[in-house]
Amino acid sequence: MAWPRGAATKAVAEGTSRPRHVAVIMDGNGRWATERGWPRLVGHRRGAERVKQIVRACPDLGVDWLTIYAFSTENWKRSTEEVLGLMKIFRRYIQREAEEMSGEGVRMRFIGERSRLDRKLQELMASIEARTAGNTRLNLTVAINYGGRDELVRASTRLAERIVRGEVTSPSEADLADCMDTAGHPDPDLVIRTSGETRTSNFLPWQAAYSEYEFTPTLWPDFTPDHLATILDRFGLRDRRFGGA
């Protein structure tokens, strides 16, 4: 499905600065459903549909990389019903989107600790990663059972093992980055959080050290490609000096 070009596409065409990599904390699904008197899982299903729309809009908006926060290491604290429902939504999403993602040139990858996820979901994740590995139109990264602190612990362990094996003698920032789940990915230029909350919630703390942040009151199921286009336009007005004068 083709989505209309927004204001940000015009900005890209005119050479305005734009983010190559956008990361999104997709917050507000449960609240969106509760406000309407519906079960929270209805909101999560609507949120999954919104992901499809944003993914399709990104290439026309000049975004090459999109990373979305789907399930955190802290989300296991939610009710068993909600967690199981979310895992079912993830499985269905991957199964239904595999063909479409591949056909539309989207490369899909996952970050986070996979061992706690059920085997069927792990297999589906590995399958769509392999199937879309050659795609280049958009790089979509989904964070499932992801926590930034957990990632740093796991990355530090990998780096320590490399030091013990003699592969690394004088560890650097680049060496640690190579041990992260996101090794080979560019750092996000822009991090967006929906729903009005102004926390980073343990999302990409290492990678987003110099990212710009945008907090919007819009709940994720209501976040349209036009909302994204407007935020991308604002990004183009920012002066990013990375510590320089």
Binding-site annotation, residues for substrate = 28-32, 40, 44, 72-74, 76, 78, 193, 199-201
From the list 213, 141, 210, the residue with the least C-alpha distance to 181 is 141
Cα 24 to Cα 32, 119, 152, 207, 228, distances in angstroms: 17, 26, 20, 13, 10
Cα dihedral 83→84→86→88 (10° resolution): 170
Which one is catalytic: 60, 64, 75, 202?
75
Structure tokens at 186: 């560019």
List for the chain the helix, strand, coil content (%; round to 5). 45, 15, 40
Annotated binding site for Mg(2+): 27, 212
Check: CB of residue 32 under 8 Å from CB of residue 221. yes
- Cα end-to-end distance, the chain, whole Å: 44
Verify whether residue 202 is a known catalytic residue.
no
Query: Could you tell me which residues are annotated as the binding site?
Result: 27-32, 40, 44, 72-74, 76, 78, 193, 199-201, 212
> Is 27 known to be catalytic?
yes
Q: What token pair was written down for 147? A: 């926590």
Residues identified as active-site: 27, 75
